[in-house]
């Protein structure tokens, strides 16, 4: 199936490739100019592509020689005429320069895409981690 028919899966594949290559432009291109992101890190939300670009520039820059592998599992999606929705568990694994895993976490990942002419763009993304109610800390599932 084409990326037009399966926009969520196509987005996830492009996301994985952009993060793996630390390619800021390829990453940001996946998002609409007016995107709204509820991220699990640093601040409650990012509004607009410029704010999201600043976040990813900092993230990729902070990695140094490390790379990040992303795997999406338990992917669910539904596609309408103008909107597509997807949810998955996203596993992020930091690798050293030799490909050895250093640390990893799994978070919840939800995305909404809107059709813009011949392409789909993310208009909303939400990532989160479950919270341990007794300690109030995030659960970083392996």
One-character DSSP codes across 1-45: --TTTSHHHHHHHHHHHHHHHT-HHHHHTTEEEEEEEE-SSSSS-
Q: Which of 114, 109, 100, 104 is nearest to 34 (CA)?
A: 114
- The whole-number pLDDT of residue 130 equals 84
How many whole angstroms separate alpha carbon 41 and alpha carbon 14?
Answer: 21
Domains of the chain, residue spans: 7-128
- The whole-number pLDDT of residue 1 equals 44
How many whole angstroms separate alpha carbon 112 and alpha carbon 117?
Answer: 16
- The whole-number pLDDT of residue 103 equals 93
Cβ atoms within 10 Å of 88's Cβ, excluding its own: 20
- The whole-number pLDDT of residue 140 equals 77
pLDDT in tens, the chain (142 residues): 445 569 999 999 999 999 999 999 999 999 999 999 998 777 889 999 999 999 999 999 999 999 999 999 999 999 999 999 999 999 999 999 999 999 999 999 999 999 999 899 999 999 988 888 889 888 877 6
Pick the CATH number of 7-128 from 3.10.450.50, 3.40.50.10240, 3.40.50.10800, 3.40.1180.10: 3.10.450.50
């Amino acid at each position: 199936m084409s990326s037009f028919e399966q926009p969520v899966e196509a987005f996830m594949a492009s996301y994985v490739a952009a993060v793996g290559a630390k390619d800021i432009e390829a990453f940001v291109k996946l998002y609409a100019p007016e995107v709204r992101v509820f991220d699990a890190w640093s601040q409650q939300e990012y509004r607009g592509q410029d704010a999201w670009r600043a976040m990813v520039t900092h993230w990729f820059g902070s990695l140094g020689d490390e790379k990040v592998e992303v795997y999406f599992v338990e992917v669910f999606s539904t596609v309408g005429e103008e909107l597509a929705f997807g949810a998955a568990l996203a596993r992020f694994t930091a690798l050293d320069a030799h490909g050895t895993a250093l640390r990893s976490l799994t978070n919840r990942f939800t995305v909404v895409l809107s059709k813009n002419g011949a392409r789909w763009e993310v208009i909303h993304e939400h990532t989160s981690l479950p919270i341990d109610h007794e300690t109030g800390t995030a659960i970083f599932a392996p």
